[in-house]
Amino acid sequence: MTAIRHFQPQDWASLWPLLRSTFATGDTYAYAPDAPEAAIHAAWVEQPLATYVACADDGTLLGSYTLKPNQPGLGGHVCNCGYVVAPAARGRGLASAMCEHSQAEARRLGFRAMQFNLVVSTNEGAVRLWQKLGFRIVGTLPGAFQHQRHGDVDAYVMFKPLKG
């Protein structure tokens, strides 16, 4: 069983190693692979509207997501999320659960749509999952991601209206 809840400051000790190892691969997120802890803390915890963690019954942190307006002002009705799942928890439905949770939270907070700005085309599992959950590819950004192994690859903008 997994519980998804708001991030608490004491979660950082477990969340930072997960974020660091995820971003260090340079294959799914645009953060610099060697980004300093303070910069990632600001981006993942301080700047979003909300940060959530997914934990096993024993308290082990299994994943996290952030939720924030995609744009300020007149674009603020569309939210943006980012998700990470611990390697040991992959393939067990956690990303799906966090995405469903994030959509419910977004609706609760008044957002009318969700947009992912930079889904790396080579991250085929994520692309398939987001499509299964109702997101559509609404744009392709040619060569927009500097993949650490494959060089410049396309990235997708994916979008889903959130109905009440």
pTM confidence score? 0.94
Q: What is the pLDDT of residues 13-34, one digit of tens each?
A: 999 999 999 999 999 999 999 9
Contact 18, 53 (CB under 8 A): no
Q: Residue 73 pLDDT more than 90? A: yes
| Measured distance between the N- and C-terminal CA atoms of the chain, rounded to whole angstroms | 27
Query: What pLDDT is recorded for position 163?
Result: 83
What's the pLDDT at 132? 97
In the structure encoding, which two tokens stand for residue 117, read together? 């700005």
Span 114-125, pLDDT tens digits: 999 999 999 999
Write down the mean pLDDT value for the chain.
Answer: 96
Give the DSSP H or E segment for 120. Answer: strand 113-120
* pLDDT tier, 8 (very low <50, low <70, confident <90, very high otherwise): very high
